[in-house]
Structure 1
Amino acid sequence: MKRIIIIIFFFVISTACQATNQCRENESEVFNCITKYTHASLCESKIDEMLTYRAAAKGKLQLQISETKKNKGKLFFFSSTPYAGGGEAHIRFVNAGYTYYLYDRAVKGEGGPIFSSGVAIYRDGEKISNPTCENDASIHQSAYENMTREPYLDIQ
């Protein structure tokens, strides 16, 4: 009985740890989004500041794309724009013919700012998916400071 309890305890602890983000021990979180079906994170290496995007569904890694020394600064791009009472930020990358936008936005509402975030996915210029984050996801300050910038493009 004691052995079963210990196994269950480790399972619960490991599941809880995985639920926080997809980043590894030597990485810091730049963006972390939990949707109904997937869990996506953009992580920055604490060693060489390389970025890695990971998306998992049902605990299984579905997509991983990472910078290398050859493509550093040429894979992930940051843009932002201010709004009256808020603003919007994007991190864009392309993989296998799909363009991904990790985004967060704050717009002015009657009762205060309205926040939203998600992962918009495009193919051939058409939005094919836009799962929204169920957690309090935002693009962290390191993206504003360290990422390659590009002109803002409205993705709505």
Structure 2
Amino acid sequence: MKKFALLAAGIFELLCGDTARAEGLCSTKEAVIFNCEFSRSTSSLCESSDGSVIYRAGLREKVRMELSPKDSKTKFYLSSRPLVGGGEVHVRFENDGYVYYLFDRMVLARDESDSSAGVIAFRKGRKVFDRRCDNDASVRQRGYEVLPREDFRDIGAK
């Protein structure tokens, strides 16, 4: 009977308890807007409790890039376009002469779907970085709610 009570209490805690977990490079107190995992690093876009948006890239132990409107002129913009059976979404920002795009896209053709997400960077109009996420990444609903909109630009995401 004691074992059953302990098991029931454990299950209740898992289902109802405050079990906030950090995802990617976002803290437990931040909402995840986008989280892209690569084999050796992570790119995360997070919203803090005060509403500011923060981009982090690197490892949890060593973040190599952190950008937010509070400590720089960084601004994040969202754009999207419909595609057959899906769509493509970008979050754009600039830093040190680079233009970065976090993206996800989905196309449904016949009975198959094709989806991808990743990070693309341009410098002086030339694509210099183009990586796909290893996880099932996407721009989350919170991004649509908090990021200002801009016109869609084709960045050659596949």
TM range (shorter): 0.7 to 0.9
Indicate the structure (1 or 2) with the bigger Cα radius of gyration.
Answer: 2
**Separation (CA, whole Å) in 2 of partners of 1:67 and 1:112:** 40
Alignment of 1:35-74 (within 5 A): 35-46=38-49, 48-57=50-59, 59-68=61-70
TM-score normalised by length of structure 2: 0.79
SS in structure 2 opposite 1:104? strand
**Separation (CA, whole Å) in 1 of partners of 2:59 and 2:51:** 26
**Separation (CA, whole Å) in 2 of partners of 1:36 and 1:126:** 25
**Separation (CA, whole Å) in 2 of partners of 1:90 and 1:128:** 17
Tell me, yes or no, if the aligned pair for 2:25 and 2:59 is still in contact at 8 Å: no
How many Å apart are 1:69 and its aligned residue? 8.7
Identity of aligned residues (%): 40
Alignment of 1:60-139 (within 5 A): 60-68=62-70, 75-139=75-139
Aligned residue pairs, count:
136
**Separation (CA, whole Å) in 2 of partners of 1:42 and 1:82:** 23
Q: CA RMSD in A?
A: 2.0
Structure 1: which amino acid aligns with 2:151? P
Structure 1: stretches of 5+ with no match in the other structure: 1-16
Match in the other structure for 1:31: 34
SS in structure 1 opposite 2:142? helix
SS in structure 2 opposite 1:152? coil
TM-score normalised by length of structure 1: 0.80
Structure 1 runs of 4+ aligned residues shifted over 3 Å read none
**Separation (CA, whole Å) in 2 of partners of 1:68 and 1:78:** 19
How many Å apart are 1:57 and its aligned residue? 4.4
How many Å apart are 1:25 and its aligned residue? 2.4
